[in-house]
Amino acid sequence: MKSFLTTILAILCGVVLLWGNFHWNDKTAVKVDGASVNTAAEKPVEKSSEEKDQVAEEGADLLSLTKNWPAEAAETFKLAQEEGRAYKILIVGSSALGEEPTGWAYLTKEGLIQAFGEENLTVEIMEFEKTSLQFVQENNQEELASSQADLIIFEPFTLNDNTNGVGTENSLINIQTVLNHIEEVSADTAVILTPPNPLYNAKYYPIQVDALKEYTEENGISYLDHWTAWPALDSEEMNDYLTNGSPNEQGHELWANYMLDYLVSKN
């Protein structure tokens, strides 16, 4: 009799265990195209403290590269990192940007992506062979604003203005029109101005560029003066970097190196 009862209890225990296991699997399953898929083991795996420290360290290293940037540009880069999105830089100017792959704009793009990684930063280049007056009259500033770039590096057609009769005062008014429109449409976009290439022994053009630099200083506009990296304007050495008034490969390399020294801080 005892043996019979023991057998019955054992069978009952087995049934209870089987029912409990079936009930648990049923609760932790989801239906996919009519089939049950167990999700009990699909909980997200948390990063270890070492992995979290590594991610934080990489973020800090990238942020340190922006040390020379305008404060608002560095801040939006930090925000982009926190949001997990790529920071967007737009380089805009005349044909002085050069051609791919040897133009300074393209060399700068390559250097930035190498330093920051394409998952953290993208670079777009826009070329307009116009004067600042034509640029504004044709509403090209809308293209800059609508790009929603985080940072715009703008070569504002000063050489084209000089050679096509757009005077210094009007040139500055046109530049400010562009900056105002960008701020109105995309207030978080930072802008850095930089002049076109220098010319050997030019007389009036340097005066117009000096006025541009002075204007940026008076109005708190960021300005990258790459002219400081070139030979003196009256030095024949300038001809080593120019061909028919435009930067040659050596000139574009010099220009790009200056830009990257600023945009990718190594200190």
- CB–CB of 87/121 below 8 Å? yes
From the list 142, 149, 145, the residue with the least C-alpha distance to 85 is 149
From the list 220, 238, 239, 217, the residue with the least C-alpha distance to 229 is 238
Q: Residue 261: which region, alpha, beta or left (left: phi > 0; alpha: psi -120 to 50)?
A: alpha
Q: Domains of the chain: which residue ranges? A: 68-263
What pLDDT is attached to residue 66? 98
Residues, the chain: 267
Which parts of the chain register pLDDT below 70?
1-59
Q: Classify burial at 123, counting beta carbons within 10 Å of its beta carbon; exposed 0-12, middle 13-18, buried 19 or more.
A: buried
- DSSP element (H, E) containing 3: helix 2-27
Q: What CATH code is assigned to 68-263?
A: 3.40.50.1110
What pLDDT is attached to residue 34? 41
What pLDDT is attached to residue 53? 41
- Beta-strand runs (E) in 87-226: 87-93, 121-127, 151-154, 190-193, 222-223
From the list 254, 262, 200, the residue with the least C-alpha distance to 229 is 254
Provide the 8-state DSSP code for 119.
T
- Read off the tokens for 254: 């010099």
What pLDDT is attached to residue 59? 66
Provide the 8-state DSSP code for 101.
T
Give the span between the Cα atoms of 157 and 135, in whole angstroms: 9
What pLDDT is attached to residue 258? 98
Please name the residues in contact with 181: beta carbons below 8 A apart, sequence gap of 6 or more.
141, 142, 144, 145
Cis peptide bond N-terminal to 70, omega within 30: no
Give the span between the Cα atoms of 87 and 119, in whole angstroms: 9
- What spatial distance separates the first Cα and last Cα of the chain, rounded to whole Å? 88
- CB–CB of 190/154 below 8 Å? no
Provide the 8-state DSSP code for 44.
P
